[in-house]
């Protein structure tokens, strides 16, 4: 047992810190092969970084750090529970407008969009972070500072991303940098949990704007470049029956019995299925139902999550779940002695498509080149983020981190440390400008 594990077991390290560190050690031990980058993209990034206006922008990013920190605190302290992002969205729209966007609006589902027009507008590039957090109404989101550490639910996932996107817009405006392409800076709704990517799904619907490439900012750090989407199916499955007194109505079909069977049959078959082939996961995350110990429940329900980057594997494990549910329903109905049969309601509550962008695609190559230029070895990753939707639509997309260090994501003790986070903003700017192209400068801008 290593020293870090001993400290964790002895309670001398916070679990979130130790687990995150252990994970990082495990990843570093894998020693992934260096990613190949075409020289033209390396040269493109190097040329951008030598551009006088980009050098000025890099300095501006550093100068903006105190304001970016305050933006992070301001936004974090505005609750954004699932499906209730409106208040934070209004504030973010106000901040984007004040930063100098040409136009700012909120669409039908609550996404906040800020357009900055390019010289030619022949393409549209998006830079986006999500507004929502996983935390319910009533959660204390007041930011606490301990030394260089900021602590609050949602501060890293993904409020730091929102602050970084805003910083990029401010930098463009303050330095007078103009782009060839039109750009959209967006705060999306519904990225987390049962939000089911509803914000980005709307962006890519017939009601959404034209989008040619998509840069999502989610997570922290500098090295990761997500170019593959982890697909998922999520269900709420509810067995229903008449219910009754545990003794007086004994013999009725019991929804809890059916649910227990369904979980057992699914777990047994899913365990076999996931032992080979492309990595696939499953989880029964929430169960509920019943009214008292002496009552036969009238309903019993569970929520199930299944994931894989292979669409075929997601479909395969989904079929196992459906078969387990129907087998459990049939067996419980056959066993009942009196009363009506149970029924089951199978509701799809989340569907994230799998997909990805080949590492040779320009946006991925530029992401890798920009990361490497700033002194960090990049790693291509698979993830479940807003980029899943453009992946599935064959639109070039990546998800990049917002810099710094942190941990405790989705927990009340979530924290973030500004450890050279400006590098992530500089990377985002390089990647962004390589996609949009630099146009003629504004009159009077720094040369």
CB contact at 8 A, 186 and 203: yes
DSSP 143: -
DSSP 358: -
Domain ranges, ordered by start, for the chain: 39-230+354-436, 234-352
- The radius of gyration computed from the CA coordinates of the chain, to the nearest angstrom, equals 25
Give the model's pLDDT for residue 98.
98
Residue 262, both tokens: 């369904």
Q: How confident is the model at residue 315 (pLDDT cuts 50, 70, 90)?
A: very high
The confidence band for 64, taking pLDDT boundaries of 50, 70 and 90, is very high
Check residue 110 and give left, alpha or beta (phi > 0: left; psi -120 to 50: alpha): left
19 band by pLDDT with thresholds 50, 70 and 90: very low
The CATH classification of domain 234-352, taken from the options 1.10.3190.10, 3.30.110.30, 3.30.70.360, 3.40.50.2000: 3.30.70.360
Q: How far apart are the first and last CA of the chain?
A: 57
Q: Among 281, 199, 296, 193, which residue's Cα sits nearest to residue 240? A: 296
233-285 tens-digit pLDDT: 999 999 999 999 999 999 999 999 999 999 999 999 999 999 999 999 999 99
Task: For domain 39-230+354-436, give the fold.
Answer: Aminopeptidase (3.40.630)
Q: What is the pLDDT of residue 7?
A: 34
Residues of the chain with pLDDT > 90, as a percent, come to 90
pTM for the full predicted model: 0.87
Nearest to 339 by CA among 439, 226, 249: 249
- State what percent of residues in the chain have pLDDT above 70: 91
Q: What tokens appear for 258 in the block? A: 């059916």
Question: Is cis: bond before 158, omega within 30 of 0?
Answer: yes
- Is residue 383 within 8 A of residue 229, CB to CB? The reply is yes
Residue 221, pLDDT > 90, answer yes
Return the percent helix, strand and coil in the chain, to nearest 5.
40, 25, 35
Contact 127, 215 (CB under 8 A): yes
Fold: same for 39-230+354-436 and 234-352:
no
- Give residue 34's pLDDT band: very low, low, confident or very high (50, 70, 90): confident
Tracing tokens 């630099």 back to the chain, one arrives at: 438
Helices first, then strands: H and E counts in the chain: 13, 19
At residue 162, φ and ψ (nearest 5 deg) are: -60, -45
pLDDT given for residue 411 in this prediction: 96
Query: Mean pLDDT score of the chain, rounded to an integer?
Result: 92
Structure tokens at 334: 């056959």
């Amino acid at each position: 047992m290593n020293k870090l594990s001993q400290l964790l077991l002895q309670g001398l390290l916070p679990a979130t810190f130790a687990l995150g560190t252990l994970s990082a050690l495990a990843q570093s031990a894998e020693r992934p092969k260096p990613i190949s980058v075409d020289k033209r993209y390396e040269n493109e990034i190097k040329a951008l970084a030598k551009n006088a206006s980009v050098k000025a922008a890099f300095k501006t990013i550093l100068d903006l750090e105190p304001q970016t920190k305050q933006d992070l605190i301001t936004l974090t302290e505005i609750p954004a529970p699932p499906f209730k992002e409106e208040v934070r969205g209004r504030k973010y729209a106000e901040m984007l407008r004040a930063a100098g966007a040409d136009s700012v609006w909120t669409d039908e589902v609550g996404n906040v969009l800020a357009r900055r027009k390019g010289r030619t507008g022949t393409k549209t590039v998006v830079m986006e972070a999500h507004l929502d957090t996983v935390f319910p109404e009533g959660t204390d989101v007041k930011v606490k500072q301990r030394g260089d550490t900021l602590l609050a639910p949602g501060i890293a996932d993904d409020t730091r991303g929102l602050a970084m996107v805003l910083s990029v817009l401010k930098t463009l405006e303050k330095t007078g940098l103009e782009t060839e392409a039109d750009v959209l800076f967006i705060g999306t709704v519904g990225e987390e949990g049962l939000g089911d990517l509803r914000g980005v799904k709307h962006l890519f619907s017939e009601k959404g704007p034209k989008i040619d490439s998509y840069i999502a900012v989610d997570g922290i750090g500098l090295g990761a470049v997500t170019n593959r989407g982890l697909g998922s199916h999520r269900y709420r499955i509810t067995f229903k029956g008449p219910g009754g007194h545990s003794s007086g109505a004994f013999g009725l079909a019991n929804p809890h019995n059916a649910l227990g069977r369904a979980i057992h049959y699914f777990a047994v078959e899913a365990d076999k299925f996931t032992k080979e082939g492309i990595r696939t996961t499953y989880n029964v995350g929430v169960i509920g139902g019943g009214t008292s110990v002496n009552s036969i429940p009238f309903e019993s329900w569970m929520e199930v999550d299944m994931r894989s980057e292979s669409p075929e594997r997601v479909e395969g494990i989904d079929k196992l779940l459906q078969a387990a549910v129907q087998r459990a329903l049939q067996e419980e109905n056959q066993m009942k002695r009196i009363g009506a049969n149970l029924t089951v309601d199978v509701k799809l509550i989340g569907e994230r498509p799998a997909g990805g962008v080949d590492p040779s695609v320009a946006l991925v190559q530029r992401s890798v080149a920009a990361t490497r230029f700033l002194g960090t070895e990049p790693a291509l990753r698979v993830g479940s983020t807003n980029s899943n939707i453009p992946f599935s639509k064959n639109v070039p997309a990546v998800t990049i981190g917002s810099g710094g260090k942190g941990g405790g994501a989705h927990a009340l003790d979530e924290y973030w440390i500004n450890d050279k986070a400006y590098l992530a903003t500089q990377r985002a700017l390089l990647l962004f400008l390589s996609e949009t192209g630099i146009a003629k400068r504004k009159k009077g801008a720094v040369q």
